[in-house]
Structure 1
Amino acid sequence: MRLPPFPALTALEAAARHRSYSRAADELFVTHGAVSQQIRKLEDELGVRLFVRQGNTMEPTATGAALASRVAESLATLRAGVDSARRAAIGPIVLSTGAAFATRWLVTRLARVSDETGELDLTVRVEDRVADLSGDGVDVALRFGAGPWSGVESVRLFSERLFPVCSPALLARHPIDKPEDLLTAPLLRHTALPWSAWFRAMGLSAPDLPPSLGFDDTSMMLDAAAQGLGVALARSGLSERDLRDGRLVRPLAGEVDVDTGHHFVWRADNPKLARILRLRDWFVAETATARGAPPSAG
């Protein structure tokens, strides 16, 4: 069954509460005549009197009072829902990211985020886990992987490339002019980035590497490479700052494209969606400008 128009119901509730069409009109920012007309139309639609005049007041009938009470309850429920939605839409946008991406890529750009997006309330949560975005208080995740992921929206920011990096001092001590030169260079190992993939892509058999320093943390491995401890197999997105600052150089131009990459991930039903989409657009634009390969040292 079709409900009466919402303005008529709100006029009924206000008039019953104030016992006055005039005071109801003041509250609703309409004229006395508009309230009177809405209630008259409601009475015609329902086929029952809702108010009777008693002196200077408009008294609701039993039917009018009962209906006004139900409308008041419904309005209270609506207001609570709207207030809840408003509260959910405010507060910080919580962004989850891994430690390496946070320290090697994101931190160098945080100073510009608020200026260029207008987002003043951003909390960065550095954690080595996959945030589920459904009940853990996280609004946005910067995920590394192949994607896509079930239950969330995502956009790829950039794909990774793998290439060797080392310190300028190490390169001076151990010239590297061709891929074969790495066979005798001190190589740093990462537990998740085997050198074998790069050697095969360069047309070389994967060597049996001698014992060497190994890491499960990319930032620590790149710092070790910058200290001249060896050559690291770097991911493009995490080494750009060190290459730009000259702490690391690329001794060779050869690189390997991989299927994995960095993604901006969010839920479409998040009440902060408008703010999240502005942030997403900034990340997409920012990564588009920085997508070119860093210059080679050779």
Structure 2
Amino acid sequence: MTRLPPFFALRALAAAARRRSYSRAAEDLSVTHGAVSQQIRKLEAELGARLFVRQGNAMIPTPAAERLAAEVERAIGVLQGGVADFRRAADHDPLVVSLDPQLAARWLPARLPRLLADPAGANLDLIAEERVADFVTDGVDVGVRYGLAQEPGLETALLFHERLFPVASPALAAAHDIRTPADLLSAPLLRHRHRPWSVWFETFGLEDPGRGIELEDSIMLLESAAQGMGVALAREALVEQDLSSGRLVRVLPQAVSNAFAFYLVWRGDNPKLHRIHALRDWLTAEAARGQP
């Protein structure tokens, strides 16, 4: 197979032949006159033939160079058409979004009708999954992840920071006179394995009593609280619908900040980038609005 010269050298040849000028070719390619001249010299050395002859202020391609330049222009046109086809396909393919399953179950549903009615919500494929999707091998375009903003090689956008506060069923809240953080020391507590009550108690200079039912899943934790089994330390994003419906109430006005947050992540070289940016803008604006 014949080794091709560098692509930029061939582009310089095509531009110079079309414009009859190294300077005008440089303008078309957004480079310097010297860069075009250097590429032409390298191409002449590689091909073993002169490509241009000066006539006054014009650089006239030789007949062989003229034919080669025409073939390069045709090849560039084919490449541009292929790229355009690829981008059009990217516009029609689903935008695959990998979501934290708890956010998908508790935060997104109330907002989903608005999202689907907006251009940013066109042709979405929403996947709720615990795993961290691989943007190269899993066919995922955007991830909504819970954690710290440490995603080397990826673009990130903050969706929202998270606050924690205690919630309970109305009946349990009425049965326990909880007026201060210290009153929780004697209340029945529901515990999440990865979100200890110590985060709350230490903020107010109290020692975690270390008792209560331990649960692994946030949704199960909130459901248990709604059934009156105890007071849960709730994540703000996951409990807003329960508070709106009255299934749960905040037993204290205080809240503590969580080190983790919800982030959108994506690859900066994704061909669907303009659609990703539209979805990012919609989601971050929606998060800033607060409760629907």
| Matches of 2:281 and 2:72, distance apart in 1 | 45
Q: Is the 8 A contact 1:142 1:263 kept in 2?
A: yes
CA 1:171–1:68: 2 relative to 1, 3 Å: same
Q: Is the 8 A contact 1:166 1:251 kept in 2?
A: yes
| Matches of 1:234 and 1:181, distance apart in 2 | 17
Q: Is the 8 A contact 1:153 1:265 kept in 2?
A: yes
Question: 179, 182, 193: which is aligned to 1:180?
Answer: 182
Relative to the length of structure 1, the TM-score reads 0.73
**Over aligned residue pairs, what C-alpha RMSD do you find?**
2.8
| Matches of 1:205 and 1:81, distance apart in 2 | 62
**Structure 1 position 276, deviation (Å):** 1.0
Q: Is the 8 A contact 1:162 1:257 kept in 2?
A: yes
Amino acid at match of 1:224: S
Task: Report the secondary structure of 2:277's partner residue.
Answer: helix
Question: 6, 10, 14: which is aligned to 1:4?
Answer: 14
| Matches of 2:283 and 2:190, distance apart in 1 | 31
CA 1:229–1:45: 2 relative to 1, 3 Å: same
Matched, 1:268 2:260: no
**Structure 1 position 116, deviation (Å):** 3.2
Question: 83, 95, 111: which is aligned to 2:85?
Answer: 83
Q: Is the 8 A contact 1:165 1:250 kept in 2?
A: yes
What's the counterpart of residue 62 of structure 2? Answer: 47
Q: Which runs of 5+ in 1 are unaligned?
A: 10-43, 51-62, 293-298
Amino acid at match of 1:242: D
Amino acid at match of 1:275: R
Point out the structure with max Rg over C-alpha: 1
Task: Report the secondary structure of 2:179's partner residue.
Answer: coil
| Matches of 2:16 and 2:239, distance apart in 1 | 59
CA 1:139–1:7: 2 relative to 1, 3 Å: farther
**Structure 1 position 216, deviation (Å):** 1.4
Relative to the length of structure 2, the TM-score reads 0.75
| Matches of 1:179 and 1:74, distance apart in 2 | 69
Amino acid at match of 1:178: T
1:1-298 aligned at under 5 Å gives the runs 1=9, 2-5=12-15, 45-48=60-63, 64=67, 72=74, 75-209=77-211, 212-290=212-290
**Structure 1 position 73, deviation (Å):** 5.1
**Structure 1 position 132, deviation (Å):** 3.0
Q: Which runs of 5+ in 2 are unaligned?
A: 1-8, 20-58
Alpha-carbon deviations, 1:94-128, whole Å to 9, x = none?
11111111111011111101323443211111000
Q: Percent identity?
A: 43
| Matches of 2:271 and 2:195, distance apart in 1 | 38
